[in-house]
Amino acid sequence: MTAMELDTATQAAVGWLVVLHSGSIGGAERRDFDAWLAASPAHSAAWQRLAGTLDATLAPARQAGTAQEGRPGGLPGSGAPLGALLGEVLARQASRERQRRRLLRGALGIGGVSAGAALLAERHLPLSQLSADLRTGTGERRDFTLADGSRLTLDARSAADVDFRAGHRTVTLRQGALVAQAAPMRSTGNASGVPFIVRTAHGTLRALGTRFVVRQGEARSHVGMLEHSVEIRTAQGQTQTLPEGFSASFGPEGIVRSDESPAATAAWQHGMLEAHDQTLGEVVQALRAYRAGFIRVSPEAAALRVYGSYALDDTHRALTALGETLPISVRTFQGHWLVVIERL
């Protein structure tokens, strides 16, 4: 994980930092924090990283909701503004990777601005993807036409590299999701045309005159066939041809067909999220790409099943609708910068 590439556990830890520093934490929040901390070693490790860079230890961090030195809910010695605290966290993490630090300094002038502002900037544009050939920011969708006439649409907070050197037609999805409309292969003399390939962290997709949607997740990638077919090849060498109208996920455990509609999977192209028996955790993950802030959802709430259509371009309305239809509470902190979702 790079300095600005926040995984789920680190995002949750930052969210808890905001809550604990808000001055409005109560007993329920303290219990929720303890439960979150104990739920997974990854949670504890993420909090240790944050607490460590603030010269705090895990034990006093657990008691951060208790008033200290007249600062209710503050971290020990947390007289500095929240942005400065987050800034120090990011600055310390950045020092672990010099090349990334130089990139960020050159792009954003971090040496002359607060790194807390850099965190806010990261929520608008994934800073770890600044070097990508194609990229989008928070809430942004973009269409691209490639050199061979193929077309790509990138979802919000997505990034891809393009390799069209001689003998190559390869798109590498670095983050997020895309819809690909592959131009057909053309033959030159007796030589076959070059296939159109989309590569993810979990394998490759070889287009067979195809339009398809693909999303890269943490453990697996997901593909939905909108037109024609595609050949899936996992990093472990397993292959399968996926026909039009079908969806599948692929990763280290192999290729698994799913009942998810490809059209519903690609609904983000039109600014909609179509949820059909998805978990609230999956829905929240999709909303995060469209909201410049943090959304924290408790494990109990994340497991709830969701059905319905939600507007991605209006995350406030989407969150309100979820709160009205599910047994959850949706609370905001720090001027809506943090949203906390818990099961009732």
pLDDT 10s per residue in the chain (344 long)?
433 345 667 767 766 766 665 555 566 667 777 888 888 888 888 777 666 544 433 333 334 444 333 333 334 334 444 444 454 444 444 444 344 444 444 444 434 344 454 555 566 666 667 788 999 999 999 999 999 899 999 999 999 999 998 888 999 999 999 999 998 876 544 334 789 999 999 999 999 878 999 999 989 999 999 999 999 999 999 999 999 999 999 999 999 999 889 999 999 999 999 999 999 999 999 999 999 888 989 999 999 999 999 999 999 999 999 999 999 999 988 767 789 999 99
Beta carbons of 136 and 154 less than 8 angstroms apart: yes
Looking at domain 134-262, which CATH architecture does it have?
Sandwich (2.60)
Beta carbons of 232 and 205 less than 8 angstroms apart: yes
Token pair 């909303």 is found at: 287
pLDDT at 289: 94
Q: How many Å from the N-terminal Cα to the C-terminal Cα in the chain? A: 33
pLDDT at 316: 93
Sign for the CA dihedral angle at 116, 122, 128, 131 comes to negative
pLDDT at 24: 54
pLDDT at 71: 34
Single-letter code of the amino acid located at 89: V
**How many residues make up the chain in this entry?**
344
Beta carbons of 334 and 81 less than 8 angstroms apart: no
pLDDT at 95: 46
Distant-in-sequence, close-in-space partners of 188: CB < 8 Å, separation ≥ 6: none
Eight-class DSSP state of 155 = P
Beta carbons of 176 and 218 less than 8 angstroms apart: no
DSSP string covering 61-92, please?
HHTTTS-BTTBTTPPTT--S-HHHHHHHHHHH
pLDDT at 44: 83
pLDDT at 21: 57
Distant-in-sequence, close-in-space partners of 328: CB < 8 Å, separation ≥ 6: 280, 301, 304, 322, 341, 342, 343, 344
Beta carbons of 193 and 187 less than 8 angstroms apart: yes
Single-letter code of the amino acid located at 94: A
**Segments of the chain assigned to CATH 3.55.50.30:** 271-343
Other residues' Cβ atoms within 10 Å of the Cβ of residue 53: 17
Query: 271-343: what fold?
Result: Phage tail protein beta-alpha-beta fold (3.55.50)
**Segments of the chain assigned to CATH 2.60.120.1440:** 134-262
